[in-house]
Amino acid sequence: MDTPKFKPFIRQTIAHSRQWEWIPPDLREAVQVVSHVLPFRTNAYVLDHLIDWNNVPDDPIYRLTFPHRDMLAPDDYAHLRELVMGKADQPALVELVRRIRLRMNPHPAGQMTHNVPRMNGAPLRGLQHKYKETVLFFPSAGQTCHAYCTFCFRWPQFVGMEEMKFDARESHELASYLRLHPEVTDVLITGGDPLIMNTRSLEAYIEPLLAPELAHIQNIRIGTKSVAYWPQRFVSDRDADDLLRLFERVVKAGKNMAIMGHYNHAVELRQEIAQQAVKRIVGTGATLRMQGPLIRHINEDPASWAELWQTGVRLGAIPYYMFVERDTGPREYFQLPLARAHEIFQAAYQMVSGLSRTVRGPSMSAFPGKVAIDGIAHIGGEKVFALQFLQARNADWVRRPFYAKFDPQATWMDQLKPAFGKEKFFFEEEGGSRSEFGIEPPGARKVISLMAARAEGGAPSPAGCDAA
């Protein structure tokens, strides 16, 4: 049997795919123009098995992976198109692309200003520590993906914005930092996609976490989209068996190996090889948790979510999160009102049994923490959103219900106002903030480069933790 080889396509090579001629000229133009601003990368598996080419451009996986004209403001698109098609003024093109990107809020939720930890007085490149129990680690070799999602909130990692990248080039710093922080129980290896690396490279990052002096590390997580975009990574790649043995070794060491699988649509788990990948992962003793954002144009159908969760549970996976699309990148193209997000989540939740109701959401990964919309209610004659923190910068905020005025147009936390005549939410009264911009008005976006954050040492978190 021929083993399928991974074959990526980017802007410069997508015309070599057999499907390129099936795409109408105006859509091909949009790919060539918009991909100068936002990352574009797909692969033969996505093209051959996940996209229904009879339904382009409305096919959800096409929308998920191919850039579209409406992701940019009309004036920006027109100006960019002129420079791209003219192929003359390269400096002007580079400058326009830079300006458009910086207006897209490249790093939301204080990733660069509040989440960068320090050791021996110096900020650590490639680590984030927002919540007390969990450290995020960005290995430099894992800062790409098998294919890019058009909504991705980590898009600055992939477009050459070097001053805004998180990439750890010194693997020993992770273990050194963890030895100083016994309160940390979880390490999330993320990217990009760490499973773009070969098993030997991944093992070099994981092996030190199994040392006796790091016994407080109970859970090793890997955030990955490969379960959907390249399930061959777990089935037929040359070192797929080695990868599964690595998972087994982590489990044997007494730790939980958690694969945080990013799924966006039920079609991604309908493929036989994708289901085989799930079975092989859970067969090692590792857990596979399913998560993804709710995105306009792609997965607004509650039945798709229900099918995804039900199929996952049947195969041994655990539905984990439905996220609200983050406030970055082409957010106007993808965002949905919070009221609509709750409606979709509730409808999908009603379609599944209790085994699938481990899923939580819709959840905003906002500056103060993960905020879930629990419901829409009438209390004291006022229509409100019922909210709670599932995770927070200050642990005392977790699971404390609070309420916001119902706003049918609100799409993110910084657009909500406290209910019942209050001026602030409870966490703001305790020194927190709805956004990294503090008291600045919603929409005021301040970009702080990672270079500057390192030089200034980053700002302390509202919780007062030295590793936010």
Tokens (6 digits) for 363:
């959840």
Confidence at residue 114, expressed as pLDDT on a 0 to 100 scale: 55
Per-residue pLDDT for 457 more than 50?
A: no
Confidence at residue 149, expressed as pLDDT on a 0 to 100 scale: 85
Confidence at residue 15, expressed as pLDDT on a 0 to 100 scale: 96
Minimum mean pLDDT among 87-91, 143-147, 210-214, 316-320: which range? Answer: 87-91
Give me the mean pLDDT over the 27-44 stretch. Answer: 94
Q: Please report where in the chains the tokens 């458009």 appear, as a residue.
A: 100
Confidence at residue 140, expressed as pLDDT on a 0 to 100 scale: 82
**Proportion of the chain above pLDDT 90, given as a percent:** 67
Residue 294 pairs with which residues in a beta bridge? 324
Give me the mean pLDDT over the 256-260 stretch. Answer: 98
Per-residue pLDDT for 456 more than 90?
A: no
How much is the mean pLDDT over the chain?
A: 87
Closest C-alpha among 152, 167, 147, 196 to residue 37 = 152
Confidence at residue 353, expressed as pLDDT on a 0 to 100 scale: 97
Better-scored residue on pLDDT, 449 or 115: 115
Confidence at residue 52, expressed as pLDDT on a 0 to 100 scale: 97
Confidence at residue 156, expressed as pLDDT on a 0 to 100 scale: 64
* SS3 call for 119: strand
* SS3 call for 295: coil
Confidence at residue 248, expressed as pLDDT on a 0 to 100 scale: 98
Per-residue pLDDT for 398 more than 70?
A: yes
Closest C-alpha among 371, 451, 384, 452 to residue 412 = 371
Give me the mean pLDDT over the 86-111 stretch. Answer: 77
Confidence at residue 463, expressed as pLDDT on a 0 to 100 scale: 31
Query: Using one digit for the tens of pLDDT, what is the confidence trace for 147-174?
Result: 988 887 665 665 565 555 555 666 688 9
Whole-model pTM? 0.87
Domain boundaries, the chain: 8-104
DSSP 210-270: GSGGGTT--EEEEEESHHHH-GGGGTTSTTHHHHHHHHHHHHHTT-EEEEEEE--SGGGGT
Distance, CA of 410 to CA of 236 (rounded, Å): 45
